[in-house]
């Protein structure tokens, strides 16, 4: 145990935890949205994220930058980031739509049992990850040095880097936007209606297939944004990048209450914090142990997660 160091580092651990947690939260939304609508765990969502992380690297490469390039001037960096965010979000969104169309829709039309969906979900995940693995010879792809981490603000003696501020801010903006979309727009009402009662939703004129596609697309867009932030944080990506992080993001979704949008945010942030605090107290090798121990403990006391399951569904 390293309690004295822990107290010294708590500010830094908190900031690291929150920025890591923001990535989990954005990534977790895809799991939670799809689960809330279809009671389906879309295992291929980890690859939706992975495709986004490659799309960002590909965008920068196409614009002439690789990991050996010089850091461009700030306006150029911002443009490069915006471009990568757009391309990655669209690439992840398109991948999610494709997975739905190819792997799930045919099963849905045949009224397949839940287990069939589970198997195709795992299958789709493996196919995508292996496909990219083969294309890239399983080698990591480096990210150009766009954002050199340096302290941007200092709060209570803790320095927060530009990248951390950007990650947390972007995640909050994206999630706020999604929340408003789901709770205020006509399309959002359509999504909530299908999740609450698909039969009555059809009687209102809601096209269920369209709503399902929309939900996959939204989850993909969010994963794409998370993937860009991941690229910048890690400095590279690999064909199996989605897998390890996907397990964490899924954990975050369950922790917050799968099916619940705000739960994904809460679950992601809690998980990020728990991991980093755990590493601070017990040592870095305990990082993941603490994360999953937290999940087990929370589920023992709150089986439906911190906020319970709901896509606008009435709480029981």
Residues 251-270 that bind another protein (CB under 8 A): none
**Shortest distance (Å) from residue 125 CB to another protein:** 31
Q: Which is nearer to another protein, 190 or 280 (CB)?
A: 190
The residue whose two tokens read 């993941």 is 288
Q: Under 8 Å CB-to-CB from 49, ≥6 apart: which residues?
A: 27, 30, 92, 223, 224, 226, 227, 230, 241, 242, 245, 246, 249
Structure tokens at 265: 């945010």
**Shortest distance (Å) from residue 186 CB to another protein:** 7
**What are the angstrom distances between the C-alpha of 78 and each of 92, 142, 213?**
21, 19, 31
Confirm or reject binding of residue 206 to another protein (CB under 8 A).
yes
Q: Exactly one of 105, 108, 208, 233 binds another protein (CB under 8 A); which one?
A: 208
Residues 176-205 that bind another protein (CB under 8 A): 186, 189-190, 192-193, 196-197, 199-205
Q: Which is nearer to another protein, 116 or 204 (CB)?
A: 204
Closest CA to 175 of 210, 213, 221: 221
Q: Under 8 Å CB-to-CB from 270, ≥6 apart: which residues?
A: 21, 252, 255, 256, 294, 306
d(CA 142, CA 118): 33
Q: Which is nearer to another protein, 98 or 112 (CB)?
A: 112
Residues 295-314 that bind another protein (CB under 8 A): 310, 312-314
d(CA 243, CA 58): 20
Q: Which is nearer to another protein, 32 or 95 (CB)?
A: 32
**Shortest distance (Å) from residue 262 CB to another protein:** 14
d(CA 134, CA 117): 25
**Shortest distance (Å) from residue 39 CB to another protein:** 16
**Number of amino acids touching another protein (CB under 8 A):** 21
**Shortest distance (Å) from residue 311 CB to another protein:** 8
Q: Which is nearer to another protein, 191 or 229 (CB)?
A: 191
**Shortest distance (Å) from residue 111 CB to another protein:** 12
**Shortest distance (Å) from residue 82 CB to another protein:** 32
Q: Which is nearer to another protein, 287 or 313 (CB)?
A: 313
d(CA 251, CA 303): 13
Structure tokens at 208: 């269920």
Helix (H) or strand (E) holding 11: helix 3-38
Interface with another protein by CB under 8 A: which residues?
186, 189-190, 192-193, 196-197, 199-208, 310, 312-314
């Amino acid at each position: 145990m390293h309690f004295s160091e822990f107290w010294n580092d708590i500010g830094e651990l908190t900031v690291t935890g929150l920025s890591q947690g923001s990535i989990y939260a954005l990534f977790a939304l895809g799991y939670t949205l799809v689960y809330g609508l279809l009671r389906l765990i879309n295992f291929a969502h980890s690859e939706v994220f992975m495709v986004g992380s490659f799309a960002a690297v590909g965008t920068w490469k196409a614009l002439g930058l690789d990991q050996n390039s010089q850091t461009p001037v700030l306006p150029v960096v911002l443009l490069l980031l915006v471009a990568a965010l757009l391309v990655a979000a669209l690439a992840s969104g398109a991948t999610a739509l494709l997975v739905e169309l190819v792997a799930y829709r045919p099963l849905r039309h045949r009224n397949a049992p839940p287990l069939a969906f589970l198997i195709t979900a795992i299958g789709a995940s493996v196919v995508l990850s292996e496909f990219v693995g083969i294309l890239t010879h399983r080698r990591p792809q480096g990210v150009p040095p766009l954002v050199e981490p340096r302290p941007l603000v200092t709060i209570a003696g803790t320095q927060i880097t530009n990248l951390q501020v950007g990650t947390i801010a972007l995640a909050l903006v994206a999630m706020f936007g999604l929340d408003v979309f789901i709770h205020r727009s006509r399309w959002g009402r359509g999504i909530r209606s299908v999740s609450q009662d698909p039969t009555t939703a059809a009687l209102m004129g809601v096209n269920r297939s369209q709503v399902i596609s929309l939900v996959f697309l939204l989850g993909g867009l969010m994963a794409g944004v998370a993937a860009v932030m991941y690229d910048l944080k890690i400095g590279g990506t690999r064909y199996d990048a989605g897998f390890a992080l996907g397990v964490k993001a899924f954990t975050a979704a369950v922790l917050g209450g799968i099916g619940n949008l705000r739960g994904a945010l809460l679950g992601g942030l809690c998980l990020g914090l728990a991991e980093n605090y755990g590493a601070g107290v017990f040592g870095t090798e305990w990082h993941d142990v603490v994360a999953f121990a937290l999940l087990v403990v929370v589920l023992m006391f709150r089986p439906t997660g911190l906020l319970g399951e709901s896509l606008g569904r009435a709480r029981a």
